[in-house]
Amino acid sequence: MIKVLVAGFKGRMGTTTTNMILENPLFELVGVYSTSATEKNINEIAEYKSENVPVFNELEKINIKADVWIDFTIPGAAFENVKFAISKHMSPVVGTTGLTEDNLTELKKLSKLEKLGGLIAPNFGISAVLLMQFAQQAAKYLPDVEIIEMHHDKKLDAPSGTALNTAKLIAKVRQPKVQGNPNERETLPGARGAEFEGMRIHSVRLPGYVAHEQVLFGGNGEALTIRQDSFDRISFMSGVAVAVEKIGTHEELLVGLENLL
Q: Is 13 annotated as contributing to ligand binding?
A: yes
Verify that 74 and 151 share a domain, yes or no: no
Query: Which segments in the chain show pLDDT lower than 70?
Result: none
- From the centroid of its chain, how far is CA 190? 25
Q: Of 139, 199, 119, 205, whose CA–CA distance to 164 is shortest?
A: 199
Strands 194-196 and 199-205, bridge-based pairing: antiparallel
Verify that 239 and 188 share a domain, yes or no: no
Domain with 243, as residue range(s), is: 2-120+234-259
The 8-class DSSP code of residue 207 comes to T
Q: Is 139 annotated as contributing to ligand binding?
A: no
Strands 211-219 and 222-230, bridge-based pairing: antiparallel
Name the phi and psi angles at 233, rounded to 5: -65, -15
Verify that 99 and 186 share a domain, yes or no: no
Verify that 72 and 156 share a domain, yes or no: no
Active site residue 250: no
Of the candidates 83, 155, 246, 250, the residue annotated as catalytic is 155
Verify that 58 and 136 share a domain, yes or no: no
Q: Of 21, 82, 122, 69, whose CA–CA distance to 248 is shortest?
A: 69
Q: Is 258 annotated as contributing to ligand binding?
A: no
* Count: domains in the chain: 2
Verify that 115 and 241 share a domain, yes or no: yes
Verify that 85 and 211 share a domain, yes or no: no
Verify that 224 and 254 share a domain, yes or no: no
Verify that 29 and 78 share a domain, yes or no: yes
Cα-based distances in Å from 4 to 111, 139, 183, 200, 244: 18, 39, 54, 39, 8
- For position 261, what pLDDT does the model report? 82
Alpha carbon distance 132, 115 (integer Å): 28
| CATH number for position 47 | 3.40.50.720
Active site residue 65: no
Q: Is 11 annotated as contributing to ligand binding?
A: yes
Verify that 208 and 165 share a domain, yes or no: yes
pLDDT in tens, 73-96: 998 899 999 999 999 999 999 998
Verify that 99 and 184 share a domain, yes or no: no
Note the residue count of the chain.
261
- Is pTM beyond 0.85? Reply is no
Verify that 19 and 109 share a domain, yes or no: yes
| CATH number for position 187 | 3.30.360.10
